[in-house]
Amino acid sequence: MSGQGGLEKVRLTQFSHGGGCGCKIAPGLLSELLAKSGATALFPDLLVGTETSDDAAVYRLNDEQAIVATTDFFMPIVDDAFDFGRIAATNAISDVYAMGGKPILALAIVGMPINKLPVATMQDILAGGAAVCREAGIPIAGGHSIDSPEPIYGLVALGLVHPDKVRRNSAAQAGDVLILGKGLGVGILSAALKKGELSDAGYAEMIATTTQLNRVGADLAELPAVHAITDVTGFGLLGHTLEICRGSRLGATLRAQALPVLPQALPWAQAGYGPGAIERNWASYGHDVDVAADVTEWQQRLTLDPQTSGGLLVACAPEAAEQVLALFRQHGFGHAAVVGSLSEGAPRVALAG
C-alpha cells in the first residue's frame, strides 16, 4: 500500500542530505561522543545501557519483567511518504525485537519543513508509521513534533522482556555461528534509486525487506542456545559484527561467499553502486578488519553497506543453527543464512572468501 496522496508533487529525498540509517553518525565519532556520557553502574536494575553499543536500553522492573526502550529516526530514504513512514517505524521497532522483547507501545518523533511539504504528504508519513504499528499490535500513544529544515520521522519504541531472556550483543560465545536474517543491499538499492535508475522490481524488493518486522527476535530469545542478537543497520554487517566482537571479547570470521544478497541489489553491487556511508564505515572501523585476498571489492563493500531496517544477526551454538534458520523461515525470512562464526581472539573480523 502506498501513494496516499500528494506524493507525485514532492520528492521527499530532495530535502534530506542523507537517508535512512545511512545518515547515522559514523561509529568512530559516535564512540567519541559517548565517551563522557556518564557511568551507569550506579543503577543496578539497568541491565543494558550504552557500554556495548547495544540496540536498546533494558531496565528491570521486577523478577519477571524488564522494559526495553529505544528510539530511532531518520530522514527519507524514499520519495513515497507512506513508504517512508512504514520503513522508519519498522526500523525503530526492530531494536525491541533485537533485545528479545515484544513491543507494547510507541511514541512518534516528527520533524517537518511545514512550509515546504503539503499537509497531505506529512499525513501520509504518519499514516505509514501507524500502519506498521498496527501490524506489530501496538499503539502510537503520543510523541513530539517540531518544524525542521529536513523531514524526520521515527519512533520511541517500548517493549517488555523477561530479565533472563534479554539478548545482549555482548553475550556471544566462542564457537557460535552467526546467522543473518535478511539479505544485504538496501543502501545499494537506495543509491540506485537516488540516481533515478532503480526499476519497479528493485523498488518493490527494497520496500518489502525494509518493512518486514523482525518479530522473530522474541521467539529466538526463547532458545537457550541463542546467546546474542543484534540488528544490522547503518554501520553495515561488518560494523555490527564488530560490536558483537567487542562486547563479547571475541574474534569473528565472515564468509563473503555465504552472504545473502537481495537479488535486485546484486547487479548494482557488482557495478560498484553504493552510498557514501560505505567509505565512512570503512574509515571508522576498517583497522579492525582483515580482508582475504580472494574477497572481491564489491563483496567487501556489501559488508559495509548501511542497512535501513536490516536483518537480525544471531550468535548461536552450532547445534542450534538449523532450529534458528527454521524459525526465520517460519516468519517469512527466506534469505536467512549462516554467514560466519566466532572464536577466541582479539575483537577483530576476518572477511574470508
pLDDT of residue 50: 75
In a 10 Å sphere around its CB, with 0-12 CB exposed, 13-18 middle and 19+ buried, how is residue 317 labelled? middle
Sheet of strand 337-343, all strands in order from the earlier edge strand to the far edge? 226-231, 312-316, 177-180, 337-343, 251-255, 349-352, 289-291
C-alpha–C-alpha distance, residues 67 and 75, integer Å: 27
pLDDT of residue 32: 57
C-alpha–C-alpha distance, residues 286 and 348, integer Å: 10
Q: Which of 243, 277, 275, 260 is nearest to 349 (CA)?
A: 243
Query: Are the beta carbons of 260 and 302 closer than 8 angstroms?
Result: no
pTM (2 decimals)? 0.88
The DSSP secondary structure of 64-133, one letter per residue, reads S-EEEEEEEEE--SSS-HHHHHHHHHHHHHHHHHHTT-EEEEEEEEEEE-TTTS-HHHHHHHHHHHHHHH
Q: Which of 60, 76, 62 is nearest to 128 (CA)?
A: 76
- pLDDT tens string, the chain, 353 residues long: the values are 344 333 345 777 666 555 544 555 555 554 555 556 555 567 889 998 877 777 789 999 999 999 999 999 888 999 999 999 999 999 999 999 999 999 999 999 999 999 989 999 999 999 999 999 999 999 999 999 999 989 999 999 999 999 999 999 899 999 999 999 999 999 999 999 988 999 999 999 999 999 999 999 999 999 999 999 999 999 999 999 999 999 999 999 999 999 999 999 999 999 999 998 899 999 999 999 999 999 999 999 999 999 999 999 999 999 999 999 999 999 999 999 999 999 999 999 999 99
Q: Residue 332 is which amino acid?
A: G
pLDDT of residue 7: 37
Query: Are the beta carbons of 109 and 71 closer than 8 angstroms?
Result: yes
C-alpha–C-alpha distance, residues 271 and 132, integer Å: 33
pLDDT of residue 53: 74
The residues annotated as belonging to the active site are 21
Q: Which of 144, 128, 140 is nearest to 81 (CA)?
A: 128
C-alpha–C-alpha distance, residues 242 and 251, integer Å: 8
